[in-house]
A = this chain, B = another copy of it.
Amino acid sequence: MASYAKRLWLEEDLGDDYRWSYRVSEVLFSGRSEYQEVDLVDTPTWGKVLLLDGKMQSTEADEEVYHELLVHPTLLHHPNPKRVFIMGGGEGATAREVLRHRSVEQVVMVDIDKVVTDFCSQHLARNQAAFRDPRLTLINDDARVQLEAAEDASFDVIIADLADPLDGGPCYQLYTQEFYRNVVLRKLAPGGVFVTQSGPAGFLSCREVFASIHATVRSVFPAVLAYAQHIPSFCDTWGFNIGFQDPQQAPVLSPEEMDARISERISNGPLGFLDGTTFAGLRQLNKMVRAALEGPDVEVYTLDNARFIHGAGVKSAGS
């Protein structure tokens, strides 16, 4: 066993001249869709790891942190979130966290790849209950098409759990000013809140996409809140941006208010990672990242001019 395990490695490029490798002890399940390969492997370092096209999507060791941070700050900032739309999120963990909110009555999750959602609902034990929750409507389609087709003002919260805006990838349109203005903002109910995963947000990496996603959200929403946390299995600090439809309602919950809402609203005990103090830390970005966000040269993503990041080392959270 030991000797076997020493020999099979997953290697991931983190940059052109920079990569990491982690040992795979077992390939648990493999599948393939028309869009991508799907694998679940076991590793000594990260526990079970979900791979899409051989790339780390989430790990048993730290997916909870990523998903808590994607979901809860947004829902906690909304006064009473009932209807939630998830773009992507096929793994099921985003829905799992959303469904912990007692106020939530309906979750619509739209992920294009049925093979992924079937695979995850079958093989990811943590997320099985979410897939079977009667409040969840799972649709395998293009998230944009489904959101455009929804009635205006129909969602309290919209969550973008999508792959980074890779050049040529299918997700880039979902990061543009046009999409935010013409679709997302319009589908939010009054007081609605939007959040998007926003790529690497370290002081060395935040200019790749994080700064532009932030600028794009800010160009459309009356108020925006950025925060970031180091996620070990992404090998970087990861960023998020919340857009508020109503600037009055908006930032920022005090640590005490956040703690109070967590205990009132969230079922299944307190959260593992997030609380008021944690969030107070994460939303006070460091000087280098703030300089990047505030720089005069940050580009807003539009359908025309979006510069998109390329290649490796990028979380593909959604599609």
Contact = CB atoms under 8 A, between A and B. Distances in A.
Given A17-B43, A54-B8, A286-B282, A30 B26 contact: yes
A21 interface: yes
A54 B7 CA distance: 6
Nearest to A1: B37
Contacts of A271: 287
A61 interface: yes
Contacts of A8: 8-11, 24, 54
Given A65-B203, A281-B285, A287-B272, A18 B7 contact: no
A202 interface: yes
Contacts of A203: 62, 65, 273
Nearest to A16: B44
B284 A280 contact: yes
Contacts of A4: 37, 39, 51, 53-54
A290 interface: yes
A236 B284 CA distance: 19
Contact of A45 (B18, B43, B202, B287): B18
Contacts of A65: 203, 288
A269 B204 CA distance: 21
Contacts of A281: 280-286
Given A54-B5, A204-B61, A286-B281, A22 B17 contact: yes
Interface in A1-34: 1, 3-12, 14-24, 26-27, 30, 32
Instruction: Count the copies.
Output: 4
Contacts of A230: 202, 230, 236-237
A237 B290 CA distance: 19
Contact of A5 (B17, B23, B30, B232): B17
B9 A11 contact: yes
Most buried by B among A24, A202, A232, A288: A232
A278 B272 contact: no
Contacts of A26: 30
A286 B290 contact: no
Interface string A254-280: 000000000000000001111101101
Given A4-B37, A20-B20, A277-B290, 12 more contacts: A3-B53, A3-B55, A4-B51, A5-B54, A9-B9, A9-B21, A19-B21, A19-B22, A21-B21, A61-B204, A232-B236, A281-B283
Which 9 pairs between the two chains have the least Cβ-Cβ distance?
Answer: A281-B284, A4-B54, A17-B23, A7-B54, A230-B230, A20-B20, A278-B286, A17-B44, A18-B45
